[in-house]
Structure formats: structure tokens, C-alpha cells
Amino acid sequence: MIEILHFFDVFTSSLDVFIDGLWITLKLSVVSLFIAIIIGLFFAILKISNIKPLQWIADGYIWIVRGTPLIVQIFILFYGLTDILLIPMFWAGAAGLAFHSGAYIAEIIRGAIQSIDQGQKEAARSLGMTKSLSMRRIILPQAFRRAVPSLGNQFIIGIKDSSLVSFIGMQDLFGVASTMGSNTFDFFPYFLTVAVYYLLIVLVLTFVVNKVEKRLAVSD
């Protein structure tokens, strides 16, 4: 009972500082996932192209991301980028997260594109559409609709993965919990607090994804 009361006391007294960390986490997640979608779409197109060198580039990128831990990728990109360019820590962290998520999103989009019936592609060609035009107007809209559940899961994973940027000094939710715990030598309630925040974020995002899925199912 004492531990529960202590947790609620920590939760309420640290609300302001955790709200600041929450804002950084949400902003970082949105920016990195937006960039990751662009990266994923680019490499998905490379992977389904008929040009072998482009396929090899996409395969190499996906292989590197899958074969190395995210924390290693963040450190390499952070220290590599900051050695070359004077960029803010936020953008270095966003680049690391986007680089990682982009590979998984590429595979999601690639699978969704290849799931579209071949007859639709042939029908578009018969109407005089070029390959790129039919991809933009017919294939990609359907592919993104089919990819919504998998993309939603990847977005949830991306939000939780964003906690790793605390290891390069960012004061996101996890960074705030680590700092507060170090200052008070009372880690447990702060990490329990940050767990509650992440659970709430995931709950809201899951609700939104489910709503979008149902809306798309009705329109189908």
C-alpha cells in the first residue's frame, strides 16, 4: 500500500517534467515515422523493380537494418552525422529511428503492392496509363489500404523504439525517467510512471488504427 501511494505521489509531482518528455517522444515519433514512410516507399519501389542493381541496393539496406541492433544504428548515425554536420540532436535521433523503421516499412509496402491483382495493372495499361501513373493512381492507394494493419503495428513499435534516443542524451519519456531516478536514487516509481505513459500512447494509437481499419472495411 505504501509503495502504491509513493508511486501516485511520484506520478503527480513529476507530471510537468514528464509532459515535456512526452512532447519530445511524440514529436520525435511523428517526424521519424513520416521520414520512414518515405524511405520505405522508396526502397519498396526499388525492391519490386526489374533492375537487378536496384534490387540489390534495397536488399542490402534491409539486410543491414535487420542484422544490426537499433541502438547500434542510432549511435553510428548520431556520431557519424554530428562529425560531418552540425545538426541538432533531435534530427540525429529522428534519422536513426527513420533509418531503422524504413526497412520494415519497405517490406510491408512491398508485400502490399505485390498482393494487388495483376489484372488491375494490365487493365491500367490497356487504358493507356504508364507504369508510374498506374502505380500512383491505382496500385499504391490500394496497397496502402491493405498495409494499414501492419503499418499500425510498425508505428507502435516505432514509438516504443524511440525510447532508445535517451542513450544519446535526449530527454524523452525514458530519458526523463532515467534522469529523475538518478537524481533521487529511486528508479522504480519513475520507470513505472514512464511505462504508464507508453501504455496510454499505445492504447490511443491502437484505437485510432482500429477505427481506420473499420472505416476502410466499410468502404470496401
**Tens digits of per-residue pLDDT, 163-196?**
999 998 899 999 999 998 888 888 888 999 999 9
Q: What is the average pLDDT across 213-218?
A: 76
Task: Say which CATH number the domain at 175 has.
Answer: 1.10.3720.10
State the Cα–Cα distance between residues 154 and 151, nearest whole angstrom. 5
C-alpha cell, 111: 508485400
**Tens digits of per-residue pLDDT, 68-112?**
999 999 988 888 776 777 778 888 899 999 999 999 999 999 998
CB distance 70 to 93 below 8 Å:
no
SS3 128: coil
Find the helix packing angle between 173-184 and 15-48, rounded to 10°: 140
| Number of folded domains that form the chain | 1
Domain that holds residue 119: 2-219
Best CA proximity match to 32, nearest among 109, 90, 108, 73 = 90
**Tens digits of per-residue pLDDT, 113-122?**
888 877 776 7
C-alpha cell, 112: 502490399
State the Cα–Cα distance between residues 26 and 64, nearest whole angstrom. 27
